[in-house]
A and B are shown apart, each in its own frame.
Chain A
């Protein structure tokens, strides 16, 4: 059964304090690993898709990396506006159906 596990559940950071979020997955035949940002009361906002081990993508203070079993979302020198829940997801056996992790809630304080 496809599974996606995110850790930690919550992360509290001081502004400028870099950290990493983890997404471990078990899926038969990876069709991509997706990272989303979700603000309270909003739908997920697309950040990155990674397709193969060793791939890296960056956007502002965020960098996503992928290995054969897990993905990391690195937040470098975060700002309060980076506070959100970060979700990772993988497509399951039918393209377009996603298995989501429970998310990591990040709070960045000034």
Chain B
């Protein structure tokens, strides 16, 4: 079945630094990738949608300059949290879809900003 690998699984960074999270589709070409954020005991909130080779489409209220998304290839999308602050601490999850492939989620990244 379709597999999406997300790294790192956990990251702790200092306030003001940037953190990059990678999402790779291992056995299919992901034409579209989605980035979600999840707060404890809360629902997944869609942050942005990215299509390979195009600029990401951000949901209302998501700062595109803080959450930089790159989808340069059909197997890799990255989310960079720039100038991270404690309020950016959260669980970030990517999801990928491709032709004939359903929506497969990565295993998530727990970001803690100290």
Contacts and interface: CB of A to CB of B under 8 A. Distances in A.
The answer to whether A and B belong to the same complex is yes
Interface of A: 4, 9, 34, 36, 41-46, 49, 87, 89, 94, 96-98, 100-103, 105
B107 interface: yes
Contact of A42 (B42, B44, B46, B108): B108
Contacts, number: 54
Contacts of A96: 32, 34, 49, 97, 103
Given A96-B32, A96-B97, A102-B42, A43 B49 contact: no
* Most-contacted residue by chain A among B43, B108, B110 (CB, 10 A): B43
Nearest to B1: A46
Interface residues of B, number: 25
Contact of B43 (A46, A49, A100, A105): A100
A97 B103 contact: no
A87 B44 contact: yes
11 contacts: A41-B91, A43-B4, A43-B105, A94-B49, A96-B32, A96-B34, A96-B103, A97-B49, A102-B42, A102-B43, A105-B41
